[in-house]
Amino acid sequence: MENLAQEWLRLDRNPATRSEIQRLLAEKDHHGLEDRLSNRLAFGTAGLRARMGAGFSRINDLTIIQTSQGLASYLFREDEDVVSAGIVIGYDARHNSKHFAELAAAVFVTKGIKVWWYEDLVHTPLVSYGVQSKGASAGIMISASHNPGYDNGYKVYGRGGCQINTPVDCKIADSILQNLEPITWDPQVAIASDKRICVKAELTLEYLASLQSLFDMYHWHDSSSRTFPSFVYTPMHGVGLEFMSCALEKLGLKGATERMLIVEEQAKPDPDFPTVRYPNPEEEGALSLAKDTGDRNNVTLIIANDPDADRLAVAEKVGGTWIQLTGDQTGILLASFILSERVKLIEKSEIGRPMEETTVLTTAVSSSMLAELASHYSVKFEETLTGFKWLGQSALEGSLQGDETLFAYEEALGYMFPSIVRDKDGIAAACIFLAACKIWQSPYAELQRLYAQFGYYVTTNTYWRSPNVEATSQAFERIRASGSPHPYLVAGQRVLRWRDLTTGVLGVQGQFPRNSP
């Protein structure tokens, strides 16, 4: 550990993180040193996401600089237009997000690469949008989404505005290891450069215009004489309120802005997330203040974004009890709304492309109900591997082949409208959901109607926090070892279908061994 610690001190110029390693050395805290230095933070398909602090395994100035240098080197090898096409960089309201973004920008400017710079807080989908709009070689968003406040991240988009995917992530990871010696520590390098071009106002207006075009096409401004329901909105201490308010105003959704009741305790960006244990709408208790606000004001609908506003959560008070819709339920509601509205346009001859030439997407961990809807509407259906890196790429590939992806979703509260952004977008999803509320009796009532028509689908998804990648791998190995090649009973219930996406094992009821339980 001594050698690793000295290597860190040789490279690091941040006084705070240097002193952290120096203190651990002085205290001979070998466990603390090993935790921070023995393993390098892994670069994957989501880029980086980890706890902030000193060490090669944490998010800090040095690992941000090294990652940016590796990404720049990779782009020089793979994209001959990178200097002129540039890279889009944005950041959220977390601790150090702006500082990390400025360091990344300094690296790219030093390398001679143009930086399309969001000079103030943005929601994550705007980086994806910016890559598309500017034809940029890549995009970076400094955010850890809905992780705890001590985390941060470095999310990378490729050309077309999709999250990077395999094997690009592996190539970038290798490139990082070849570019560990920092070339700059000075954020002023980018601030003073004419290669850093501020674009927030321009691209925000473009993004909102794209959303408005979708509303114009479907006539969602005047789709019903009914007014919007009153609703409680929370951005969960994140960046969502600015973009939600601008979107509702831009779309001219009559009555929507006036009927939005904001959770004041969570309205402003706050990197400490003081009112929630974890700033994730899926977490137990995360919507408690929103529910209290609704109860006090006799409002029965909650719309919530996570801190970087790429996810949407919905809750409705039914019969005096708050019911939070799952990601699958909200996804099915949005899919049904879009598909039924599309049929209306075709019947009016306002759109020439038939339903058979369009597609809806979801992932392996989401409900199979979307396949049933797709069959009913004669729309193509595709299931991808987990994550919007796959959904976005599938939508991009489809568009290149002349196919149109209307909608995609994943159960973890992510919804994508590829005509706007090729990534999940909590602001667009919220606006479209509110437009649908003008037509539905209520979201819950509409969900029951769909169940009656297509069958009742139930999914049970959960997650556990793991202390490290090694512990995660060990847990999955224990699960696999409880059966051959996989468990046949879970909590006393027979498993009818099993799919292990890591090993490729697939089993269904008729293929199980005869002597299985």
Instruction: For residue range 150-162, list pLDDT tens digits in order.
Output: 999 999 999 999 9
Same domain, yes or no, for 108 and 223? Answer: no
Same domain, yes or no, for 314 and 239? Answer: yes
Q: How many domains does the chain have?
A: 4
Tokens of 346: 């075709």
| pLDDT digit string, tens, across residues 419-467 | 999 999 999 999 999 999 989 999 999 999 999 999 999 887 777 777 7
Active site residue 145: yes
Same domain, yes or no, for 138 and 229? Answer: no
| pLDDT digit string, tens, across residues 368-403 | 999 999 999 999 999 998 899 999 999 999 998 989
Band (pLDDT 50/70/90 cuts) for residue 505 is: low
Same domain, yes or no, for 43 and 191? Answer: yes
Its domain, for residue 369, covers: 328-454
Same domain, yes or no, for 65 and 157? Answer: yes
Do the beta carbons of residue 310 and residue 391 sit within 8 Å?
no
Same domain, yes or no, for 173 and 65? Answer: yes
Do the beta carbons of residue 92 and residue 239 sit within 8 Å?
yes
Residue 261 parent element (H or E): strand 260-262
Residue 208 DSSP class: H
pLDDT of 512 higher than 60: no
Helix/strand number for the chain, H first, E second: 18, 19
- State the Cα–Cα distance between residues 498 and 126, nearest whole angstrom: 37
Supply the pLDDT for residue 172. Answer: 96
| Residue among 123, 312, 353 at smallest CA distance from 217 | 353
CATH number for 162: 3.40.120.10
Task: Say what percent of the chain tops pLDDT 90.
Answer: 79
Separation in Å, CA 195 to CA 142, 183, 223: 20, 17, 45
State the catalytic residue, choosing from 57, 128, 137, 145: 145
Supply the pLDDT for residue 481. Answer: 81
Band (pLDDT 50/70/90 cuts) for residue 511 is: very low
Same domain, yes or no, for 312 and 367? Answer: no
Judged by DSSP in three states, 282 sits in coil
Same domain, yes or no, for 306 and 356? Answer: no
Let me know if residue 34 belongs to a domain.
Answer: no
Please name the residue that has the structure tokens 């215009």: 209
Band (pLDDT 50/70/90 cuts) for residue 513 is: very low
Q: What is the pTM of this model?
A: 0.92
| pLDDT digit string, tens, across residues 81-99 | 999 999 999 999 999 999 9
Among the candidates 307, 324, 341, a domain finishes at: 324
